[in-house]
Homo-oligomer: A and B are copies of this chain.
């Protein structure tokens, strides 16, 4: 669904009023029947031989992804990753609003609160999503504190798989992504050598 959202958003920016399952499938690298099947799960938006209305489909997918509302976000960990995410403007456009940032070392000039005040802050400011950008050794303890204080959704950048009952975590593991690249690079090189 996130990929559908992106390519339909781009089609909308290009001014495309209608889009066919063939066009969507070409952009996504899927078969047209796979696209029709995916979209049929969410009610039949399309008409035979006519395609989909780009704006209608976009708005339906926005609903499915939960992007019709605002999410309040805090970032825990004011290192390089935390700061890079705080500075990225794209998230606010999709309704993800960073309200506060916490670190072991508070920095009032940079709007970074001390992590000791986490519970106090959350009691006053219910928060939808916490970004975990602390060291690996601290990530689970921080997530448990957040969960106990009512945060149910984690976007986790520490290299562990967070798995805390009653919460949802999206684990972004940068090293694993890099290993996938080196693995595929090696496969690619081997296939090329065999082909030559």
Contacts and interface: CB of A to CB of B under 8 A. Distances in A.
Interface residues of A, number: 48
A55 interface: no
Count of identical protomers in the assembly: 2
A183 interface: yes
Interface string A162-183: 0000001110111111111111
A182 B67 contact: yes
Interface in A1-33: 1-3, 5-6, 29
A43 to B, nearest CB: 16
A176 B88 contact: no
A6 B129 contact: no
Nearest to A94: B175
Q: Which of A84, A129, A159 has the largest number of chain B CB atoms within 10 A?
A: A84
Interface of A: 1-3, 5-6, 29, 64-67, 71, 80-81, 83-84, 87-88, 90-91, 94, 96, 128-129, 152-155, 159, 161, 168-170, 172-186, 188
